[in-house]
Amino acid sequence: MSFYAFDFQGVVDTLDYEKYLHSVIYLPVAIANQLPLAAHPRLRVEGEINDYPFSGAFIPSSQGHHLILGSARLKAMGLKVGMPVELRFNIADQDCVDVPEELLGTLSGDKAAQQAWDALTPGKRRGLAHFVGSAKTGATRDKRAMEIALGLTGKPGGKLSMQAHRTTRL
């Protein structure tokens, strides 16, 4: 018996989205029909691609739901477009957000920022947490965490507003 509830064989493919070309794995319709995609169109999952652990989301497109594979992930797995893959996964907690320590510390010291953070959707929190966590140095993570906290509360020095955070580069 497998640890994972779902598995399938696929291939690394491409998706041309506006001006971007993404490397993706498409979700087979037979598997998609078993998933709660109506309730969660961007279904978060955790599992393995060719025995390499991953977490991500199946995202809808005109060609069906797909999982985006960034260039760093492809390189780490030794994959290229056209190569076969075996994907095994479970449905993840849709509200779970892994928040970097730097952001947790900053929010815990600012009640207004914490309240604004708590009012965000899990997806928005996840995006902001990723922005902080993707920084290479602790100093940059600290700076980004502070900018987010200031932006959430509208204080000077914040480079983020709750309405415009998706279009504003910090």
Q: Would you say how long the chain is, in residues?
A: 170
Q: Burial, 148: exposed, middle or buried (Cβ in 10 Å; 0-12, 13-18, 19+)?
A: buried
Q: Lowest mean pLDDT: which of 34-38, 41-45, 71-75, 155-159? A: 155-159
**91-117, pLDDT tens digit by residue?**
999 999 999 999 999 999 999 999 999
The pair of structure tokens assigned to 31 is 């598997």
What pLDDT sits at residue 2? Answer: 76
What pLDDT sits at residue 163? Answer: 44
Inter-axis angle of helices 122-133 and 138-153, to 10 degrees? 150
Q: What would the mean pLDDT of 83-96 be, rounded to a whole number?
A: 96
The pair of structure tokens assigned to 137 is 């140095």
Residue type, 163: Q
Q: Burial, 132: exposed, middle or buried (Cβ in 10 Å; 0-12, 13-18, 19+)?
A: buried
Three-class secondary structure of residue 117 per DSSP? helix
The percent of residues in the chain predicted with pLDDT above 70, rounded, is: 93
Q: What would the mean pLDDT of 76-86 be, rounded to a whole number?
A: 96
Query: Where does the pLDDT of residue 18 fall: very low under 50, low under 70, confident under 90, or very high at 90 and above?
Result: confident
> Which is nearest to 124 in space by CA: 68, 165, 80, 168?
165
Domain boundaries, the chain: 6-91, 101-153
Model confidence, pTM: 0.75
Contact 99, 125 (CB under 8 A): yes
- Domain 6-91: give its CATH superfamily: AF2212/PG0164-like (2.40.30.100)
